[in-house]
């Protein structure tokens, strides 16, 4: 476009510039004449500007300063052919014009201008004529044209190389991202999206959003797999029991009220167990996949323990609550309640007739909640495993102890979600202490 415009606009531009320069040279010459300066310098001006200057005085004497050689048309004062430059006609036209100047354009193969004006000096009146070609030289035009072709080729070459390099640089991270996206589509949730080699804010935002989405998908996938595994593992046993006892009712016990009652109780117990189990599974899966969010508030830990103790009153009455102060903590109250409940119900299950102590004590800036029983205790080699999912020390099935092996795993999940410390101290046949710590917000001494 630039090339095309330049070549087409150059001749008219050159023409306008040339006419302008002719006029300013005429101004200079006029000043020289009026100030009676030597006109010898006019030869140089004529040569440098490729023009021809002529001065004709009142008596018809002519001085010519020719810088274009045979191209000077005003030398030939008498026209040979119609349309050629005619001095008399030019003079007439100049005098007719109120600014005493006139432009005469002739085309002798290449376009020429003859500019004329009247100059009034001390020694009399002159006609100043300046003749100059107004079309650029063919050779000059060709040179520019060739330069443009060369420049165009160079620019195209440079632009092609630059765009290939740029395209490669920009597309490289997209190629890496597409590969990661394909892996993600094939359920590989361990992929990560990286903005390799390119650092635009928008691109960084995109990769971090995709990484976040991948993490969330991973959590959901883990939750799903966990639930499927748990359901097939645990729900099958009680369901088989329910089915077996229902069939027994159908076949034997429907006419025997005592037996029927017994069988129905088993079915109810299994159904209750199932209900609790499903609830625990959901909770544990959500905790482990990180799909649960804590609702932390400041609350009175002592009050929470007292509330929970009253709930268990009908199951166990010899429970002591021992505390050295009232502790305000910041945690998810419902979840911490769940941990205490799990510790407490285990203590009830395994304490036998012995008493249970619940203790709150200050320890290096934290408050430690311990649930202590003096029951069967835990074998040394089992202690580390009790927090594991589905771990039950007594592998024999006791529905009366209706544990699923999930209670302590849930408790651990909740404590870890609070970034807190936990543990168990136990000795076989002596009893166990299960504890966890919470950061103290406020201590109210009493």
One of 284, 356, 406, 414 touching ligand ADP (CB under 6 A): 406
**Residue with tokens 């209750």, as numbered in its chain:** 272
Shorter beta-carbon distance to ligand ADP: residue 51 or 433: 433
Shorter beta-carbon distance to ligand ADP: residue 332 or 373: 373
Shorter beta-carbon distance to ligand ADP: residue 31 or 385: 385
Of 101, 99, 93, 96, nearest to 117 (Cα)? 101
Kindly state the smallest distance separating residue 432's Cβ from ligand ADP, in Å.
Answer: 4
Kindly state the smallest distance separating residue 269's Cβ from ligand ADP, in Å.
Answer: 15
Region of 80-88, 234-242, 330-338, 405-413 interacting with ligand ADP (CB under 6 A): 405-413
Shorter beta-carbon distance to ligand ADP: residue 116 or 431: 431
Kindly state the smallest distance separating residue 286's Cβ from ligand ADP, in Å.
Answer: 17
Region of 9-17, 112-120, 174-182, 374-382 interacting with ligand ADP (CB under 6 A): 374-382
Residue 405 binds ligand ADP, judged by CB under 6 A: yes
Kindly state the smallest distance separating residue 426's Cβ from ligand ADP, in Å.
Answer: 7
Strands 366-373 and 431-444: antiparallel
Strand partners, 53: 65, 130
Kindly state the smallest distance separating residue 383's Cβ from ligand ADP, in Å.
Answer: 9
Compute how many residues bind ligand ADP; rule: CB under 6 A: 21
**Residues contacting 323, CB < 8 A, separation 6+:** 302, 359, 360, 361
- Between CA 341 and CA 276 the distance in angstroms is 14
Kindly state the smallest distance separating residue 424's Cβ from ligand ADP, in Å.
Answer: 8
Shorter beta-carbon distance to ligand ADP: residue 73 or 436: 436
Kindly state the smallest distance separating residue 378's Cβ from ligand ADP, in Å.
Answer: 5
Report the site for ligand ADP in 417-446 (rule: CB under 6 A).
432
Q: Under a CB-based contact definition with an 8 Å cutoff, are residues 342 and 411 in contact?
A: yes
Kindly state the smallest distance separating residue 229's Cβ from ligand ADP, in Å.
Answer: 17
Cβ-count burial 346-367 (b if 16+ within 10 Å, e if not): bbbbbbeeebbbbbbbeeeebb
Kindly state the smallest distance separating residue 236's Cβ from ligand ADP, in Å.
Answer: 18
- Between CA 176 and CA 193 the distance in angstroms is 8
Whole-Å CA distances, 431 to 70, 255, 397: 128, 47, 22
Shorter beta-carbon distance to ligand ADP: residue 238 or 375: 375
Q: Which residue is nearest to ligand ADP (CB)?
A: 403
Q: For Cα atoms 371, 372, 373, give the angle at the middle one, nearest 5 degrees.
A: 130
Strands 319-323 and 356-363: parallel
Kindly state the smallest distance separating residue 343's Cβ from ligand ADP, in Å.
Answer: 8
Report the site for ligand ADP in 375-404 (rule: CB under 6 A).
375-376, 378, 386, 391-394, 403-404
Shorter beta-carbon distance to ligand ADP: residue 52 or 386: 386
Shorter beta-carbon distance to ligand ADP: residue 333 or 433: 433
Q: Under a CB-based contact definition with an 8 Å cutoff, are residues 29 and 121 in contact?
A: no
Q: Under a CB-based contact definition with an 8 Å cutoff, are residues 322 and 359 in contact?
A: yes
Kindly state the smallest distance separating residue 371's Cβ from ligand ADP, in Å.
Answer: 8
Residue 347 binds ligand ADP, judged by CB under 6 A: yes
One of 373, 414, 418, 437 touching ligand ADP (CB under 6 A): 373
Residue 370 binds ligand ADP, judged by CB under 6 A: no
- Between CA 123 and CA 140 the distance in angstroms is 42
Of 336, 315, 434, 332, nearest to 386 (Cα)? 434
Shorter beta-carbon distance to ligand ADP: residue 337 or 403: 403
Shorter beta-carbon distance to ligand ADP: residue 126 or 343: 343
Report the site for ligand ADP in 317-346 (rule: CB under 6 A).
342, 346
Report the site for ligand ADP in 191-230 (rule: CB under 6 A).
none
Shorter beta-carbon distance to ligand ADP: residue 45 or 404: 404
CB atoms within 10 A of CB 255: 7
Q: What values do phi and psi take at 138, rounded to 5?
A: -60, -45
DSSP 289-357: HT-----EEEEEHHHHHHHHHHHTTTT---EEEEESSEEEEEEEHHHHHHHHHHHHHHHHHHHTTS-EE
Residues making up the chain, counted from first to last: 446
Give the three-state DSSP class for 423: strand
Residues at the interface with ligand ADP (CB under 6 A) = 342, 346-347, 350, 373, 375-376, 378, 386, 391-394, 403-409, 432
């Amino acid at each position: 476009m630039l090339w095309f415009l330049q070549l087409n606009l150059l001749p008219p531009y050159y023409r306008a510039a040339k006419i302008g320069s002719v006029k300013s040279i005429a101004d200079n010459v006029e000043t020289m004449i009026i100030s009676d300066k030597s006109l010898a310098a006019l030869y140089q001006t004529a040569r440098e500007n490729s023009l021809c200057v002529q001065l004709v005085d009142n008596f018809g004497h002519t001085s010519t300063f020719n810088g274009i050689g045979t191209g000077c048309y005003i030398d030939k004062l008498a026209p040979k052919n119609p349309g050629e430059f005619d001095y008399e006609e030019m003079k007439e036209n100049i005098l007719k014009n109120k600014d005493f100047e006139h432009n005469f354009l002739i085309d002798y193969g290449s376009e020429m201008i003859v500019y004329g004006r009247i100059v009034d000096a001390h020694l009399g009146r002159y006609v100043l004529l300046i003749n100059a070609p107004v079309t650029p030289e063919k050779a000059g035009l060709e040179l520019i044209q060739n330069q443009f072709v060369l420049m165009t080729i160079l620019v195209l070459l440079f632009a092609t190389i630059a765009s290939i390099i740029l395209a490669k640089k920009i597309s490289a991270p997209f190629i890496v991202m597409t590969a990661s996206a394909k892996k993600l589509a094939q359920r590989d949730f361990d992929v990560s999206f990286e903005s390799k080699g390119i650092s635009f804010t928008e691109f960084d935002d995109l990769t971090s959003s995709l990484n976040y989405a991948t993490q969330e998908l991973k959590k959901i996938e883990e939750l799903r797999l966990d639930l499927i595994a748990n359901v097939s593992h645990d729900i099958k046993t009680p369901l088989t029991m329910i089915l077996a006892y229902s069939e027994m009712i159908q076949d034997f016990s429907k006419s025997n009220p005592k037996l029927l009652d017994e069988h129905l109780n088993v079915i109810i117990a299994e159904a209750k167990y199932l209900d609790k189990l499903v609830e625990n599974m959901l909770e544990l899966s959500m905790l482990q996949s990180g799909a649960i969010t804590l609702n932390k508030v400041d609350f009175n830990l002592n009050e929470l323990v007292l509330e929970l103790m009253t709930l268990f009153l009908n199951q166990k009455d010899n429970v002591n609550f021992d505390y050295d102060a009232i502790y305000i903590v910041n945690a998810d109250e419902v979840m911490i309640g769940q941990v205490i409940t799990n510790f407490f119900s285990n203590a009830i299950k395994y304490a036998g007739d012995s008493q249970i102590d619940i203790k709150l004590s200050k320890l290096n800036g934290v408050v430690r909640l311990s649930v202590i029983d003096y029951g069967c205790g835990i074998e040394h080699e089992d202690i580390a495993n009790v927090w594991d999912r589905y771990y039950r020390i007594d592998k024999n099935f006791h529905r009366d102890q209706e544990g699923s092996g999930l209670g302590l795993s849930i408790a651990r999940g909740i404590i870890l979600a609070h970034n807190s410390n936990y543990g168990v101290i136990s000795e076989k046949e002596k009893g166990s202490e299960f504890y966890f710590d919470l950061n103290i917000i406020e201590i109210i001494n009493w």
